[in-house]
Chains A and B, each alone.
Chain A
Amino acid sequence: MENNSLKFLDAPIEADATTDIIYMMCPMHLLTIDDKVKEIKTGQVLSILTDYEGAIEDIPEWCDKTGNEFLGVFEDTDHYKFYIKKIRES
């Protein structure tokens, strides 16, 4: 069952770690999340900065597949800020 549907945020939220992959194309957003989520602790929030449009679909889906929580995306002037809460080791 899909529980991480796309939700837009009105403002950025505080993250424990941020990774900037602006100008990187598919599948760097997914590979980077894989790597970076491993570096944070369960319960912490990872923020991903990307301008890759496909991430809108891919990142919530990645959270579904891996059992992590998609907190939402904030649309900044020229990029998106995605927020993921680590729920379990992936």
Chain B
Amino acid sequence: MKTIYMDHVATNPMHPEVLDAMIPYLREHYGNPLSMYEPGMVAREAIENARTHTADLINAKPREIIFTASGAEANNFAVKGIAYAYQNKGKHIIVSKVEHHSILNPARFLEKSGFNVTYLSVDRHGLVNPADVRKAITDETILISIIHASPEIGTIQPIAEIGAIAREKGIMFHTDAVASAGNIPVDVQSMNVDLLSLTAHQFYGPKGAAALYIKEGTRIVPLIYGGIQEGGRRAGTENVPAIVGMGKAAELAKRDLQKRMEHLKPLRDRLIAGALKIDKSMLTGHPQQRLPGHASFIVEYIEGEAMLMLLAAKGIYSASGSACSSKALKSSPVLLAIGTPVHMAQGSVVFTLGEGTTDEDINYFNETFSQVITRLREISPYAKGWEGMEDQACTAKK
């Protein structure tokens, strides 16, 4: 059976050149980068080369890149590290309601240790209004963290505008660019950010390598203390092969960014046009200001998981939104934040395309998706309407 991978926001296959670059560091170049002899020097040089390419991708200086093991670690590092570093100045943090759990949960953790967090509302497309950020700022605010692009609804936030406000007020500004870096232009200078998280597997690099950009001169409390790796800011023997892979993936992403975007946009738009022909289906997220390979929908009267299963049986791999929310059988906080009623949030489905997606894949998808929906509606208890479900209370918390 033909299979089509349409879950590129979950992860990506590695680019063959990335794997080729990593292999020597999994085999002969096994040295510890801290060792003073030749194999150590080889590993050290490889890491610094990867740092340069990673920095280049986001227009940063190499010394502003701290490698971590995941995007979640980079996000935790940013939120906790800045909160602890600047807590003498104030204890107020601003985030949005559409952040990833790796921002929301550290923020909730900090609330338990005496910090105050404002969770900003978004509009129906998931956009944060910069004016709301300005209004939420107090004399106590030390950190603002707003996601760059939503993996669930694809919406791209006005980061540069929010960053300008943060800079004017002298407040640290972090953006979670995990879903965006390597997929759309990301420039730490023009975005006015002090910290930015990115991860390799979102742009055809390996899992296990990610980074936090920390603007030069920014104080931060490490998450992991120990040795002198990453300038003492992130201890632990480096995952050299993965970091090398991240560097190669960043180099390729910078080189091919425009080409990749131009490949994805028409495919995405055809997919969206096809899916919206289905009765009672709607696009979630911003119609234009969205990731180039991202299409997300609510299909009424159908449960997201059922769609995923039938699509998977037809060889199409996709997601129903945030992995954590679907596992927990809980409505996605992002969908609730954009005003989706609880009963409709269950019918969410996300398709994310990649380098390997073809025109034929979209043809097959459009044909299959409509068949799957027809089949599911035949057996849906709500096929004739929601029958009072609209009154169901929202139990999900912020």
Which of A's residues lie within 8 Å of B, judged by CB? 20-25, 27-28, 31, 78
Contact = CB atoms under 8 A, between A and B. Distances in A.
Given A20-B219, A22-B219, A31 B88 contact: no
B385 interface: no
B53 interface: no
B233 interface: yes
A25 B85 CA distance: 14
Contacts of B84: 23
A78 B219 CA distance: 13
B219 A28 contact: no
24 contacts: A20-B217, A20-B219, A21-B232, A22-B85, A22-B219, A23-B84, A23-B85, A23-B219, A23-B220, A23-B221, A23-B222, A24-B222, A24-B231, A24-B232, A24-B233, A25-B225, A25-B232, A27-B228, A28-B228, A28-B231, A28-B232, A31-B228, A31-B232, A78-B88
A27 B231 CA distance: 10
Count class of interface residues, chain B: 10 to 19
A70 B84 CA distance: 31
Contacts of A24: 222, 231-233
A61 B217 CA distance: 27
Contacts of B228: 27-28, 31
Contacts of A22: 85, 219
B92 to A, nearest CB: 19
Contacts of B222: 23-24
B335 to A, nearest CB: 38
B81 to A, nearest CB: 8
The 9 closest A-B pairs by CB, nearest first: A28-B232, A24-B232, A23-B221, A22-B219, A25-B225, A31-B228, A23-B85, A23-B219, A28-B228
Nearest to B217: A20
A43 to B, nearest CB: 25
Contacts of A21: 232
Contacts of A31: 228, 232
